[in-house]
A and B are shown apart, each in its own frame.
Chain A
Amino acid sequence: DGGITQSPKYLFRKEGQNVTLSCEQNLNHDAMYWYRQDPGQGLRLIYYSQIVNDFQKGDIAEGYSVSREKKESFPLTVTSAQKNPTAFYLCASSPRQGRHPFFGQGTRLTVV
């Protein structure tokens, strides 16, 4: 089946530790995105990538890092510098032909 796979679905980490969230897509999409969702708020863009080896900051990039070494993969690292890392993280992808993003099922990160 074609789609976007985020893993794991639930992730727990201790404060001060870096953690990497996985996102893989087999849709042959060029663009990939990371969004953060907090209760009662909309989705906010963290980082996006239009092509392999290229990525840009979104609206709330501080405390996060990404890489895009392969077209299929766009991992997100939540660093210890992110002050409020507990959230629901959503990965998405889209073709470059101006189509809407397709979302994965999300990873719920809890930092204790």
Chain B
Amino acid sequence: GENVEQHPSTLSVQEGDSAVIKCTYSDSASNYFPWYKQELGKGPQLIIDIRSNVGEKKDQRIAVTLNKTAKHFSLHITETQPEDSAVYFCAASQINTGTASKLTFGTGTRLQVTL
């Protein structure tokens, strides 16, 4: 089955700096890579996702890059703000029309943005 590794487990940055979280996956058949943000005591919320036919995707201060050959993908947050502080999870899945989206998650990165 799929195995997703995520690094670092904790990340502290100053407000305004950039943050980068990296993930690797093992199954070359995986074709969908979402990133979730989880605030304390709440369920994860999708912040950005990327499919295997795309190398990079950007949404305002957040971007994700994918290297299929190396089987790794990364989350980039620029101009970090205190409200970016949370736990971030990467995930991988084979997503096909008509089938359930079974995600395999990384172990999470706790991001702290300090003033």
Contacts and interface: CB of A to CB of B under 8 A. Distances in A.
Contacts of A100: 32, 34, 46, 49, 95, 101, 103
Contacts of A53: none
A42 B4 contact: yes
B107 interface: yes
B26 interface: no
Contacts of B36: 103
User: How many B residues touch the partner, as a band?
Assistant: 20 to 34
B37 to A, nearest CB: 11
Contacts of B100: 31, 33, 48-50, 94, 96
B101 A101 contact: yes
A42 B101 CA distance: 16
A50 B100 CA distance: 6
Contacts of B34: 100
Interface of B: 1, 4, 6, 9, 32, 34, 36, 41-46, 49, 89, 95-108
28 contacts: A4-B43, A42-B6, A42-B89, A42-B105, A42-B108, A43-B103, A48-B100, A49-B100, A50-B100, A90-B43, A94-B101, A96-B98, A96-B100, A97-B97, A98-B96, A98-B98, A98-B101, A99-B95, A100-B46, A100-B103, A103-B43, A103-B45, A104-B43, A105-B41, A105-B43, A106-B41, A106-B42, A108-B41
